[in-house]
Structure 1
């Protein structure tokens, strides 16, 4: 069951990053038959009618492995077999296990194509350095020594993998990606700014008197395109507001669920508000649309960039509207925004761990995440342990307010933990991800393992709780998490999803997720305020 859920998650990555989609077979002559045999394997490209086998066997239930096999089925071969591979890697034939030599046979340029993509050490299609080794040493040596430990990653498709796939299928669109903006260009990604007062949202490199810089290049050498948006609440009157509106995007998937994600930096007063609306158009002639408040940020200011997700449920074309509003208190800062992404996907839970490098440099450390509730009321949380340069992540079922109304043992909930690659563009991320599923029939030491939490009590934060079944979802080294952009601004971000996959017992797809609509208190004039917005090319400050 867990592998079935992982396969669907891999499909979601294809939809987000590429123009390729998958659907359950109806009556098509050519189709992929996903089966469980020994090992993980697939034929290359379309090979035969009547069901082309693709095996996701034991220990193959990882997103990157599933993507690897489906990329084979879609026509991609191993990266280290490219006709130009000798310019980038050396194959140590003497170290290859006997009988497996054919796995390293180079293809000629006459029978294969790279779609004019560069050799990709980060490709999910690349073998690792010790693939099929006879124990006498590595089978693949990179010409650039610093990349030796990079090859063979099984996190997910790389940017060049996606480019090659899209070129092969002669398309460059995406099924579920809608929009993104890091404000590198002065056009603001066709976003509009408007304000009833002077000096609304500004595109800036820095803010006077506040320690805040662009998030996109945080931790890197700042480039000439290092910008973010800022609305100052300093010196304003209570109720002063400004809006930043995205371009219009149109959801096309059957499930009308979207996720808005962005980074914000709050340096104003705790009474200041950042309201997130959607303006949904009823038809093509409707230029104003109907405003709906989807989320509101009002909190104690903290001096760092925070990742934030807002679940959306637009049925028609819509815009996202960021409204910053001055509160009652004195302010010396305001709200900053950067790295916005909108996609037709479900939003996860967020655990942003501050100053993770401090934890990594300690001999041992234990951290608990916030505690989360699934849509149907199951409660869970994660423990991150650091010991001797190793990071281990456990996820527990935890006692909660709805336990007496829930079904126990917990049936077929798939929990996924993702260590986020904080690339500003969601389609270019290569995040580490691991999933497990609660099997209600699993028994350990005479008890149902995923039964109602009864171990304890334990103290997590300021709360006394009972613990239930747990899964060890990640064992990483310090080197693992210091690659790519897993750590940015000193922070490590873990994302969690919990999904009911019990429907996969009977069919090959899941029902549409639901978005819980929140209620907020806003001033009565906010939704009726009509200020003309237009695209303005802002002069950087």
Structure 2
């Protein structure tokens, strides 16, 4: 275990503002990148995950470097830092150092590289925040300068407290008092977020690079408009889907607005109250043109009908051989949880122009309602493997005694490994548990990446600021006493756990972070809707390809003295108290995610460091959709 100071975000520059002025500082919309050998394995995964978000929400793409004159070379330096804009120096370095391997941090650093300064460096900064100069660490005052519109441009976008480029309230503070005080008090706990791009971040980036479309976004619909996003009543049915705001048998409101917006709140409904068995209706999307390969269809379904009512997910593909379209069934949904909006994912594989079709089919059993759809999203990406819904989460956090452990259902990863999850300050830890495939799996568990995503339930996937953290199993990692492999078979290195129903399994040691998400941020955005939260969970190792760095050069490194935002010298003052509850989430391969919740701040005692395990370095890899991991978290670590 190595204990180091928390790393703040850095830029390599002489001045700061918002976006750098001058076309010479722009990159092409497809940017060559290179991942150096010095990077930690999970950092590589997080970087590739950040690239996915750029592709989903902007026209910016990243491609492995193949000899282009100017490119971004990412290495492990003494913190997180980047130059601002395209410096046209050939190899332009960007550092993702220890404890920088978090999605929002990586997005932040690449926004610097794309030409953006910090939000609080805008010329109009003093209209929105007060800088407490007497609380700033001596010698760091220059980080709070503002620059006029001859140096940087705000791109005609209002000041954004929620920008991923904004300093936190305690940046460069001497003690625990804030150095930045927002003039609207409600934004004090908003500034400094490192979850995801804000809406304004995306607006500015898309304006700067003249983006009109994004690379992997395909479609989104919440059915608020009369044209229902261009969807049509398709041929082949003998009844119709209707655009409604409530149904007597349920739902009483849509999922998007939860009935809270007067004059809004629509969804599509297929009634099965009357008619005969086999009656059906087709709701078809407009023509879609996704990138060839895998796509993820996400939607919310409310079943107030009969247990044998069906929802079929079809795709009609058009090509020269099938000019009228060829139908392919991808999934049939029936039964399940009745009487609530449930989240569904369907993996598609579409290669050409197509339409997605939602086919409702009436069953034989009596019905008092039907099938309802809302908040549909389609993107060129792989779907999460599992959904864990936490119902009545505010009550759970308020009433669960400290030290209580709750367990999610067990799940299996595609490779056969088992894993689990839970919330709180939310902490997340990942554990392997014993499972039915242990005898045929490779041990110690090699390079399985677990992604834990708390879903921001915004209706449009491009506006979601979900919080996610990734953990990777390093087969070379040893236990604290050096006698065992940390990620070995839980039957060998774990402890026996017995459930209330008498079933038992082995739970291995875990790692993760105790600072996943604060309670205040949990209640922001749309993490909680209808008092429920969704964790999307995946474990994947198949997309890793290891090998020597094919470009064959090594990082020259960067002198840590260039760090302008505290670099490795940053201290985070933790006021720590174990407050709420512990919840385990385990699966059949033996993977468990452990969450411990903390209340912040509660006492005058402070932690001025973070401790985390550092996995061994590996060679270069290229994987277009890889997800990554995080190993950091203040002690105490789980036992």
Structure 1: give runs of 5+ residues left out of the alignment: 514-541
CA distance in 1, matches of 2:405, 2:339: 24
Residue pair 2:236, 2:282 contacting (<8 A) in 1 also: no
Name the structure 2 match of 1:141.
Answer: 181
CA distance in 2, matches of 1:318, 1:262: 18
Give 1:272 shift.
Answer: 1.0
Give 1:457 shift.
Answer: 3.9
- Structure 2 residue corresponding to 1:44, chosen from 73, 84, 89: 84
- Structure 1 residue corresponding to 2:267, chosen from 225, 228, 233: 228
Give 1:87 shift.
Answer: 1.2
Structure 1 456/301 Cα, relative in aligned 2: closer, same or farther at 3 Å? Answer: same
Name the structure 2 match of 1:374.
Answer: 413
- Residue 160 of structure 1 aligns to a residue in which SS? helix
Name the structure 2 match of 1:408.
Answer: 443
Give 1:370 shift.
Answer: 2.6
TM-score of the two chains, using structure 2 as the length reference: 0.76
- Structure 2 residue corresponding to 1:278, chosen from 308, 315, 323: 315
- Residue 375 of structure 2 aligns to a residue in which SS? strand
Name the structure 2 match of 1:436.
Answer: 471
Structure 1 486/391 Cα, relative in aligned 2: closer, same or farther at 3 Å? Answer: same
CA distance in 2, matches of 1:459, 1:288: 57
Residue pair 1:196, 1:240 contacting (<8 A) in 2 also: no
Structure 1 427/60 Cα, relative in aligned 2: closer, same or farther at 3 Å? Answer: same
CA distance in 1, matches of 2:117, 2:622: 28
Residue pair 2:319, 2:352 contacting (<8 A) in 1 also: yes
1:129 has 2:169 as partner: yes
1:318 has 2:348 as partner: no
Q: Which moved more, 1:57-66 or 1:476-485?
A: 476-485
- Residue 61 of structure 2 aligns to a residue in which SS? coil
- Structure 2 residue corresponding to 1:479, chosen from 486, 503, 520: 520
Q: Which moved more, 1:424-433 or 1:47-56?
A: 47-56
Residue pair 1:439, 1:450 contacting (<8 A) in 2 also: yes
1:291 has 2:327 as partner: yes
Give 1:474 shift.
Answer: 4.9
Give 1:155 shift.
Answer: 0.4
Structure 1 385/103 Cα, relative in aligned 2: closer, same or farther at 3 Å? Answer: closer
CA distance in 2, matches of 1:426, 1:385: 22
Structure 1 280/194 Cα, relative in aligned 2: closer, same or farther at 3 Å? Answer: closer
1:217 has 2:257 as partner: yes
Give 1:400 shift.
Answer: 2.3
Q: Which moved more, 1:362-371 or 1:348-357?
A: 362-371
Name the structure 1 match of 2:289.
Answer: 250
1:488 has 2:488 as partner: no
- Residue 409 of structure 1 aligns to a residue in which SS? coil
- Structure 1 residue corresponding to 2:126, chosen from 64, 78, 86: 86
1:503 has 2:503 as partner: no
1:202 has 2:238 as partner: no
- Residue 147 of structure 2 aligns to a residue in which SS? coil
CA distance in 1, matches of 2:397, 2:229: 38
CA distance in 2, matches of 1:107, 1:460: 60
Structure 1 146/392 Cα, relative in aligned 2: closer, same or farther at 3 Å? Answer: same
Residues 194-235 of structure 1: CA distance to partner in whole angstroms, max 9, x if unpaired?
4766652100010123343111112x6223231000111112
Residue pair 2:251, 2:304 contacting (<8 A) in 1 also: no
Give 1:361 shift.
Answer: 1.5
Residue pair 2:415, 2:540 contacting (<8 A) in 1 also: no
Give 1:499 shift.
Answer: 2.2
Q: CA RMSD in A?
A: 2.0
Give 1:251 shift.
Answer: 2.1
Structure 2: give runs of 5+ residues left out of the alignment: 1-40, 547-617, 627-639
TM-score of the two chains, using structure 1 as the length reference: 0.89
Give 1:352 shift.
Answer: 1.2
Name the structure 1 match of 2:301.
Answer: 264
1:54 has 2:94 as partner: yes
- Residue 132 of structure 1 aligns to a residue in which SS? coil
Give 1:297 shift.
Answer: 1.2
Residue pair 1:411, 1:502 contacting (<8 A) in 2 also: no
CA distance in 1, matches of 2:90, 2:227: 51
Structure 1 421/512 Cα, relative in aligned 2: closer, same or farther at 3 Å? Answer: closer
CA distance in 1, matches of 2:524, 2:310: 35
CA distance in 1, matches of 2:176, 2:348: 54
Residue pair 1:11, 1:21 contacting (<8 A) in 2 also: yes
Structure 1 57/393 Cα, relative in aligned 2: closer, same or farther at 3 Å? Answer: closer
CA distance in 1, matches of 2:423, 2:469: 17
Greater RCO (Cα-Cα under 8 Å, separation 6 or more): 2
- Residue 148 of structure 2 aligns to a residue in which SS? coil
Name the structure 2 match of 1:395.
Answer: 430
